[in-house]
């Protein structure tokens, strides 16, 4: 089949990100040390242009490109937009931190942008091959980013753990893919779904394949019992990297799950529903319970992330368009909340001092009332207390599981969210009820403050007016 240049149009955002990443690599060679900040500007501009192109080429019905290996639909438009926006947040929060430590290097931006590219490719994927390509691009960049502060032994250790377990997860995924390829004879999602519809769901090989796919997804999301890497990596990684890792890739992982389970394996929903239910209950339970015992705030956020993954799975396993929309809403909201919470930690860190422990937030309200308010919004949103958007996200997910008559699952979910409320409240308690133990000034530029305000107020605004984002999410699965 001859190559058609029209194929390039819908992947313009990816092209822009790839060009920016390459530009950063090139330009960085010629930048003097005091001008390294230009990389940052370049990356932000690239991401903004990519957002613009996402909007420009988006909209309309589903289209397939590159012989059916790449898809552009309403879901990919929205998820790409969300990933790009949250990546901008991540870069902006990271910049002062990196500068303080002499790590403001071109490599950070090049790796970060290639990771973004990987996420975009995952979102676009319509075949196992494209999906795997994106996944590995993302993962390899993050292995390197976690070890980015190469003088830090914990960082190297975390990167090693992440690499080994990430490779294991990818291996599982590939193993599952090979079985499905064997059973259906195709690696494109459309033909796979068609083959499953034709030959029925009784094939043992298919069932094995789906089990391995779910394990792979569990690894990438960090769902219990495939969660062991999450706390160690969050703790060991430099704070801005943990921020990046905890936010945008969750959206990409959501895309991975939908592309695999819904687009390709929708016919086997009865099989993966039960698996996801087990993962969801375990994740919500273990995540919330273990988070209580943490004194390190990054580990606490890691266990919190695990519990939120359980909620995302609740929406997915409902197997209805409402459920997918609810899970998508949840994933986006979660990424925004995690970016904000880690953003505060990054901002509060100074040269030679990192916010590691819960104690480091003590008395934040007296040191900086506005950042304390923003962090409180993030915590209440994560706990699911109205009027923040975290409540709306939980409401939608619960609605989806009640709709399929799994009221027990909804009860389990709300029960664990009560337990979860405790450790989020403890953060608020430390910030508001306790007096600061240090009076070190909080240095942050007006730009960072503005971006953080946008991040926090968006969470409040979406909680009061969720209709627009919700209808976008529903439009993706209409």
Partner 1 sequence: MESVFPLLTLVIWLPILGGMVVLASGDRDSNLSKWLALGTAVLTFLVSLGLWIGFDSGTADMQFVERGAWIPTFNVWYFLGVDGISMPLIVLTTFITIFVVVAGWDVITYRPSQYMAAFLIMEGLMVGVFSALDAILFYVFWEAMLIPMFIIIGVWGGPNRVYATIKFFLYTFFGSVFMLVALIYMYFQADSFSILDFHELELGMSAQVLIFVAFLLAFAVKVPMFPVHTWLPDAHVEAPTGGSVILAAIMLKIGGYGFLRFSLPITPDASASLDWLIIALSLIAVVYIGFVALVQQDMKKLIAYSSIAHMGFVTLGFFILFALLRHSGESTGAVMGIEGGMIQMISHGFISAALFLCVGVLYDRMHSRQIADYGGVINTMPWFGGFMVFFAMSNAGLPGTSGFVGEFMVILAAFRADFWFAFLAATTLVLAAAFTLWMVKRVIYGEVKNEKVAALADLDKREVFNLGALAAVVLLFGLWPAPLVDVMHKSVEHLVAQVSVCKLPAAESADCLLARPAPVAFLAP
Residues making contact with partner 1 (CB under 8 A): 380, 385-387, 391, 395-396, 398-399, 402-403, 407, 410-411, 414-415, 417-418, 421-422, 425-426, 428-429, 432-433, 465-467, 470-471, 474
Q: How far is the CB of 432 from partner 1 (least distance, A)?
A: 6
Q: How far is the CB of 369 from partner 1 (least distance, A)?
A: 8
* Residue number with CB closer to partner 1 (429 or 449): 429
* Residue number with CB closer to partner 1 (282 or 379): 379
Q: SS3 for 4-70, per residue?
A: CHHHHHHHHHHHHHHHHHHHHHHHHHHCCHHHCHHHHHHHHHHHHHHHHHHHHHCCCCCEEEHHHCE
* Residue number with CB closer to partner 1 (166 or 340): 340
* Residue number with CB closer to partner 1 (175 or 432): 432
Neighbours of 314 (CB within 10 A): 30
Tokens of 56: 């420009």
Q: How far is the CB of 405 from partner 1 (least distance, A)?
A: 9
Residue among 460, 466, 472, 461 nearest 80 (CA): 472
Q: How far is the CB of 88 from partner 1 (least distance, A)?
A: 28
| Residue 227, phi then psi, degrees to nearest 5 | -105, 0
* Residue number with CB closer to partner 1 (79 or 470): 470
Torsion region of 241: left, alpha or beta (phi above 0 gives left; psi -120 to 50 gives alpha)? alpha
Q: How many helices and strands, by DSSP H and E, does the chain display? A: 20, 2
* Residue number with CB closer to partner 1 (228 or 418): 418
Q: How far is the CB of 137 from partner 1 (least distance, A)?
A: 35
* Residue number with CB closer to partner 1 (164 or 411): 411
Q: How far is the CB of 433 from partner 1 (least distance, A)?
A: 4
* Residue number with CB closer to partner 1 (130 or 294): 294
Q: Which residues pair with 188 in a beta bridge?
A: 127
Tokens of 54: 């996402």
CA distances (Å), 367 to each of 168, 298, 393, 441, in order?
A: 44, 21, 31, 7
Neighbours of 63 (CB within 10 A): 15
The rounded distance, in Å, linking the Cα atoms of 205 and 183 is 6
* Residue number with CB closer to partner 1 (29 or 478): 478
The rounded distance, in Å, linking the Cα atoms of 3 and 118 is 23
Q: How far is the CB of 248 from partner 1 (least distance, A)?
A: 26
Contact by Cβ (8 Å): 54, 132: no
Q: How far is the CB of 464 from partner 1 (least distance, A)?
A: 9
The rounded distance, in Å, linking the Cα atoms of 63 and 181 is 23
Q: How far is the CB of 410 from partner 1 (least distance, A)?
A: 5
Residues 6+ apart with CB under 8 A from 111: 141, 144, 145, 148
């Amino acid at each position: 089949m001859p190559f058609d240049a029209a194929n390039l149009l819908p992947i313009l955002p990816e092209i822009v990100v790839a060009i920016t990443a390459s530009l950063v690599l090139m330009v960085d060679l010629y930048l003097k040390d005091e001008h390294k900040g230009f990389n940052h500007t370049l990356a932000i501009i690239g991401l903004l242009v990519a957002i613009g192109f996402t909007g420009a080429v988006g909209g309309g019905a589903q289209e397939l490109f590159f012989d059916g290996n790449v898809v552009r639909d309403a879901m990919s438009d929205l998820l790409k937009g969300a990933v790009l926006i949250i990546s901008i947040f991540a870069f902006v929060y990271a910049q002062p931190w990196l500068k303080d430590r002499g790590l403001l290097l071109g490599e950070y931006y090049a790796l970060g942008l290639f990771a973004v590219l990987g996420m975009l490719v995952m979102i676009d994927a319509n075949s196992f091959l494209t999906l795997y390509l994106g996944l590995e691009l993302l993962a390899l960049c993050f292995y390197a980013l976690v070890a980015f502060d190469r003088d830090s032994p914990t960082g190297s250790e975390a990167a090693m753990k992440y690499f080994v377990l990430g490779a294991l997860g990818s291996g599982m995924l590939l193993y599952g893919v090979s079985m499905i390829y064997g059973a259906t004879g195709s690696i494109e999602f459309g033909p796979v779904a068609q083959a499953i519809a034709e030959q029925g769901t009784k094939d043992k090989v298919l069932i094995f394949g789906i089990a391995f796919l779910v394990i792979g997804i569990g690894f990438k999301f960090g769902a219990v019992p495939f969660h062991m890497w999450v706390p160690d990596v969050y703790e060991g990684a430099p704070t801005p990297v943990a921020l990046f890792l905890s936010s945008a890739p969750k959206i990409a992982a959501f895309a991975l799950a939908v592309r695999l389970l819904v687009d390709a394996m929708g016919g086997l929903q009865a099989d993966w529903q039960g698996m996801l239910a087990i993962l969801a209950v375990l994740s919500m339970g273990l995540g919330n319970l273990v988070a209580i015992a943490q004194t390190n705030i990054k580990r606490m956020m890691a266990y919190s992330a695990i519990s939120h993954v359980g909620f995302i799975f609740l929406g997915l396993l409902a197997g209805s368009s409402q459920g997918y929309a609810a899970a998508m809403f949840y994933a986006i909201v979660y990424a925004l909340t995690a970016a904000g919470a880690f953003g505060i930690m990054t901002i509060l860190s100074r040269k030679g001092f990192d916010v590691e422990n819960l104690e480091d937030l003590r008395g934040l309200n007296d040191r900086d009332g506005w950042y304390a308010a923003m962090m409180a919004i993030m915590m209440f949103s994560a706990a699911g207390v109205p009027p923040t958007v975290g409540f709306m996200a939980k409401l939608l997910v619960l609605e989806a599981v009640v709709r399929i008559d799994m009221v027990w699952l909804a009860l389990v979910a709300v029960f664990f969210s009560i337990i979860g409320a405790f450790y989020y409240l403890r953060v608020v308690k430390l910030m508001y009820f306790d007096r600061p133990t240090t009076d070190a000034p909080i240095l942050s530029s007006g730009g960072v403050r503005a971006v953080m305000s946008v991040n926090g107020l968006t969470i409040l605004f979406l909680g009061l007016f969720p209709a627009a984002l919700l209808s976008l999410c529903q439009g993706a699965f209409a």
